Structure 1
């Protein structure tokens, strides 16, 4: 039974371990897995980079897009009663802390100053909690797992994986669109991008479980998703460009809303929800901010008819133009001075408006 030159190699019997070793695990064939199904499931995960960006996300979620944030929401931050004392100066100090002061190196890395900037902005927004006690009934969560399953046409889709930092609330967000506006979405025609498949760039799997879960137990005291905060630092491959980041924000906001609707209304698709579910999302790369509000009006996405969901998108909001440790000099002229330059206060006003949404009674919409 040993190898000899010119002879065939001997065939040895396969050795089977009598103990379980996770380092030498051989998975069974796909067809023999317990969760194997013939129907293909298309999965949108946290690093999915869809080709058509927002257009593709709108088709997958059966949603109508509205450019800009609702005016009644923006009025929250414009009200002097909701503003922070010395607001602009304190926001600029937050930016300087993230970009210049929070490091012992020459300059902080992008993933570090993005995370520091977001945490400090949220901490600054919490200053108004004394005027609005409802802000104290919230909780931040990280590294939770989401799964939402739905049918779109003849295909099955899922949004799952670990997504952004989530701000949970004891009370749900009020709907931004009244019943009449929700009914008016029936006439909206969804945009198509034929011949490109709506499932392009999505992961295809056959071993899956059809389920919906928010990542939290049923007795969790903060069951309602309020705002998702996405950080895109460009250090994780593949890098998501702004159109793909906006699509990710829409998809995960929809996934959180759909998983919550499954708890409230059951797994059967509902043509129209009695109480729409609203989820917000904020995305940033440390300088530019994207704002998304998703209102789930229906869970019946099998065809393009009937009531549509709604998306408000406000994109390309710069919080500041430059934050240079050293001045940028070209041809012996200072093009960009050192320090913070080009601060845009309206971007933080929108950030604050989304944070205050649900805690101020004046923003509730009535027909």
Structure 2
């Protein structure tokens, strides 16, 4: 039977609701029970005092549960009165490569060392290697199954307009897959006799602190992949002359943030007693969404090349401090050579640093050497066109340099 308003009025549930409303408005009558209980010495309490009783809460200190935030002032245990110019992964040298040279006391040589140049010119690779590298590029850029929300794309002419968010492979995964695949192809060509003398580590951290002309420089960087070898790379033969860039009126520490809270420890990820502990090649990634200028402009090519140099310098300096102790401040007993490769998934920058001295002062008698070439584009476009894979302007020279760096000893 369909319920109507008349039937609902006679429904038993309706009667119960009305009954509770009427009974709730009744006023309790005085029965004299309270007076009788008080005569017998029985304490009578108000029901509201029992229902809404005030409970006194005590603060209990539980070790390890909630850590108190340490104030970032002079009360901090790592507070120092002297400021430290702290360089990290997201730092950008506004002066670009010239500032990096003046900061690390490096002379620029716009070519690779002779042994690497000879390997690049004389190496003979199989005809199938270009096909393998093309497949590695496609596999890392468009064929991987990862689908995440990509960073926002802004239009310079319409800065307030929000474009629809797109999904695809994150840049971190693209770079990791590409470097791993290039290393895999290189190891296959080198053979077991070479690859067994190399060890790979992901996301290695390096820290060191150096004094330069009265300023304290603190470096803390990490490399996405590091190749360690059982034998250090031989120093480059010959002596190179050159002058450091003149940054006047700027200082070499411009655009490097200053902090009072810092640590002056030196950190190298491997112990000296490990067989493959010598730094060979570091691979770092440039992500334009994370590395930006403080004034908001795009990072220039010179600034990207400066990151390649500084990161190689930090690795070499951390290794020098591990081998010779924190007391070494001048020329090293034996130069340390570190190869550095930086990429954003498409553009590669190769460089070789020879650390001769940790004396970074302007009057230092010896200089460090920085060998590098200009950037190389592995390709110009890698995407889908009309539902088919498309790779345009593939550059095979990138892998040939990559292979020469890996086999250098």
TM-score, length of structure 2 as denominator length: 0.73
Contact 1:62 1:304 in 2 (8 A): no
Of 348-357 and 111-120, deviating more is 111-120
Q: Which residue of 2 aligns with 1:260?
A: 319
Q: Is the 8 A contact 2:350 2:373 kept in 1?
A: yes
Deviation per CA, 1:85-144: give whole Å up to 9, x if none: 5222221121122223223768534333222111100000001232x6133121111223
In the alignment, what sits opposite 1:114?
A: 175
- When normalised by structure 1's length, the TM-score is 0.81
Report the RMSD for the aligned CA atoms in angstroms: 2.6
Matched, 1:153 2:213: yes
Q: Can you give the 5+ residue segments of structure 1 that lack an aligned partner in the other structure?
A: 1-14, 329-336, 359-367
Write the distance in 2 (CA, Å) between the matches of 1:324 and 1:28: 49
2:249 aligned with 1:198, yes or no? no
Instruction: Determine the structure 2 residue equivalent to 1:172.
Output: 232
What does residue range 170-249 of structure 1 map to in structure 2 within 5 Å?
Answer: 170-176=230-236, 178=237, 180-181=238-239, 184-185=240-241, 188-236=242-290, 238=292, 241-249=300-308
Q: CA deviation at 1:214?
A: 0.8
Q: How far off its partner does 1:256 sit?
A: 1.0
Aligned residues: 328
Deviates more, 1:92-101 or 1:309-318: 92-101
Determine if contact 1:271/1:306 at 8 Å carries over to the other structure.
no
Q: Secondary structure at the match of 1:46?
A: coil
In the alignment, does 2:113 pair up with 1:51? no
Once residues 327 and 295 of structure 1 are traced to their aligned partners in structure 2, the CA distance between those partners, rounded to angstroms, is: 48
Deviates more, 1:338-347 or 1:52-61: 338-347
2:138 corresponds to 1:96:
yes
Comparing 277-286 with 91-100, greater Cα deviation is found at: 91-100
Gaps of at least 5 residues in structure 2 are 1-57, 148-166, 294-298
The answer to whether structure 1 residue 73 and structure 2 residue 133 are counterparts is no
Task: Give the ranges of 4+ consecutive aligned residues of structure 1 lying more than 6 Å apart after TM superposition.
Answer: none
Cα deviation, 1:333-352, whole Å, max 9, x if unaligned, reads xxxx9611211111211111
Deviations 1:123-181 (A, max 9, x none): 00001232x613312111122321111111110101114333111111111112x2x40
